[in-house]
Amino acid sequence: MMFLQTSSLFLVCALWPLMSCGPQSRLHENITDQDMFWGADQYDFSVVLTASALECFWHFAHYGEIFYLNFMVQWVTGVGHDRHLTVTVNAPGGLLLYTIDDATGQIRFEAQETGFYQMCFSNFHNRFGMMQVFLSFGVHYDGYEDVTKQKDAEKKKKEEAGKELNNTLSSLRTQHTKWRLMFSTCFATTRTAA
């Protein structure tokens, strides 16, 4: 009987961590979506679009971030060899922001709303051929380095102010010691004279 209780206790202790695994609905309760998705990032890759295909990608951007997209048709196969690619960018609310119909292009704008921006690439010009497209997109912050430099400058100022304060305190201590010695010698000579 004692053996069963001990083995049951052992099994519960050994398997307890496994019982708390699996899908969890509250992974990080104290992290908001602002904290989770915040940060400059960049993605570079190529995608193959089949004849008349449409591929869409989504990327998160906060209000005020700089969203950018660069694309270039690398190669085309098929009968027509049409290098034209239709690219659209939609805001999180569904508003069409940009449309480009060319083999290469750049889109850059300041995000006016927070959310997932949709980029769609259409090969409808090539009804019988494929194309490979290189994509580079992401978000960054204008002045991000300035903020870092500003924080470093503030830190340096604080360090310099701390050094200056320490130098002032050291000087005051030295002066205090000199005055104390001077007064003690003056007081001692006055005392002996009396």
Is the pLDDT at 14 greater than 70? The verdict is no
CB 109, CB 67: distance < 8 Å: yes
Is the pLDDT at 185 greater than 90? The verdict is no
CA torsion through residues 108, 113, 115, 121, sign: negative
Is the pLDDT at 134 greater than 70? The verdict is yes
Q: pLDDT tier at 23 (50, 70, 90 boundaries)?
A: very low
Is the pLDDT at 60 greater than 90? The verdict is yes
Q: pLDDT tier at 33 (50, 70, 90 boundaries)?
A: low
Q: What is the pLDDT of residues 155-175, one digit of tens each?
A: 888 888 778 878 887 888 888
Is the pLDDT at 105 greater than 80? The verdict is yes
Is the pLDDT at 22 greater than 50? The verdict is no
Q: pLDDT tier at 78 (50, 70, 90 boundaries)?
A: confident
Tokens representing 55? 């591929």
- The CATH number of 30-142 is 2.60.120.380
Is the pLDDT at 63 greater than 70? The verdict is yes
Please report, for residues 18, 19, 20, 39, the alpha-carbon distance to residue 14 in angstroms, rounded to integers and kept in the order given. Answer: 8, 10, 12, 39
User: How many CA atoms lie less than 13 Å away from 64 in the CB half-sphere?
Assistant: 7
Is the pLDDT at 147 greater than 90? The verdict is no
Please indicate whether residue 115 or residue 180 has the higher confidence score (pLDDT): 115
What phi-psi label fits residue 27: left (phi over 0), alpha (psi between -120 and 50 degrees) or beta?
alpha
CA–CA gap between residue 86 and residue 71 (Å, rounded): 11
Q: What is the pLDDT of residue 18?
A: 45
pTM: 0.57
Question: What is the average pLDDT value for the chain, to the nearest integer?
Answer: 79
CA–CA gap between residue 72 and residue 43 (Å, rounded): 14
Segment (H or E) for 165: helix 144-193
Q: What is the pLDDT of residue 142?
A: 72
Is the pLDDT at 87 greater than 90? The verdict is yes
